[in-house]
Chains A and B, each alone.
Chain A
């Protein structure tokens, strides 16, 4: 069974702090990794993608990937109350032409003003 694991939270951080969200995956040959943000009652919104080991920065967001440890994380700097949402880690498992995404259950982030 190919799995993606996330801490369900809730993760609570004060406004302006760094929020760190973590994800592990079971399939060693996975190639593509994504973070989605989902507000309550809304659909998932793609915020980051990462394909190579290391860090990828986009504004206040940094995705980190370590394929050897099968670990991917998302850092949110200068957290804002509007960042309060569920963050879903998604992995394109199986490598190659396997295109479907396997999602974790999500981590609920609350940013307190």
Chain B
């Protein structure tokens, strides 16, 4: 079946611009996660949705970062007034389970954001 999809795959933004990154999870997956991966590092957690509810946003680096999943499927990560330190790969993952964990997370191809 279809995996997690993300768009755009690559985004170049000038410092100060706003960007929106889209994630389409695996059909039927309740949980959706956003991670940020810097070069040479493991992914770092940003935020977690269970259906349309954002249950954890503790990893968002600043109030310039905002995520939503209004209908419990597609999610958008928005970054306002981009800064150079926002340059990274943004990964979306989805998972069948919810609540108690124990289910693997499946990643999309990522969006590589470069802020110039």
Contact = CB atoms under 8 A, between A and B. Distances in A.
Mutual binders A and B: yes
Interface string A1-21: 000100000000000000000
A32 interface: yes
The size bracket of the interface on A is 20 to 34
Interface in B46-71: 48, 56, 59
Contact of B102 (A46, A51, A100): A51
Contacts of A101: 33, 43, 45, 105
A109 interface: no
Contacts of A103: 42-44
A52 to B, nearest CB: 11
B109 interface: yes
A96 B100 contact: yes
Interface in A39-65: 42-46, 49, 51
From A34, A51, A90, A97, residue with most partner B Cβ within 10 Å: A97
Contact of A46 (B98, B101, B105, B109): B105
A25 B91 CA distance: 23
B104 A97 contact: no
B82 interface: no
Interface string A71-110: 0000000000000000010101000111111111110000
30 contacts: A4-B42, A31-B101, A32-B101, A32-B102, A34-B104, A36-B107, A44-B43, A46-B104, A46-B105, A49-B104, A51-B102, A88-B42, A92-B101, A92-B102, A96-B101, A98-B101, A99-B48, A99-B56, A99-B95, A99-B98, A100-B45, A100-B48, A101-B33, A101-B45, A103-B43, A103-B44, A104-B42, A105-B40, A105-B41, A106-B42
Given A42-B109, A46-B104, A97-B100, 13 more contacts: A31-B101, A32-B101, A34-B104, A45-B107, A46-B106, A88-B43, A90-B42, A92-B102, A99-B31, A99-B101, A100-B59, A101-B43, A103-B43
